[in-house]
Amino acid sequence: LAKTTQPISMDSYEGQEVNITCSHNNIATNDYITWYQQFPSQGPRFIIQGYKTKVTNEVASLFIPADRKSSTLSLPRVSLSDTAVYYCLVGNASGGSYIPTFGRGTSLIVHP
């Protein structure tokens, strides 16, 4: 099971781009990387998922280098409402006993 490591916290200011990096050194060949966002007292919400190179949606971009040992979630021009905890998960598409490991995530605080 690939273990992930993220910074515990980050600070930013409104309008800036924020990049949160997740390390997953022992990621398996078939593993995908998924990011979730959680606001206080709410359940996590899916942001983005990718396998390699770059994935972009209306909310964020996900950059995955060729060795796939890390990934970076990029939030363009953050606002106060992006203050939340961000989780990186790794897992593959095979069924069976997948154990979702959210850990403590990265607490992002956006300042005015």
Residue ranges in contact with other proteins by CB under 8 A: 31-32, 34, 36, 38, 41-46, 49, 87, 89-105
Residue 51 burial (10 A CB sphere; 0-12, 13-18, 19+): middle
Q: Which is nearer to other proteins, 72 or 101 (CB)?
A: 101
Q: CA 47 to CA 76: how far, in whole Å? A: 13
Nearest distance, CB of residue 50 and other proteins, angstroms: 10
Q: Which is nearer to other proteins, 96 or 112 (CB)?
A: 96
Nearest distance, CB of residue 14 and other proteins, angstroms: 27
Residues 6+ apart with CB under 8 A from 15: 77, 78, 79
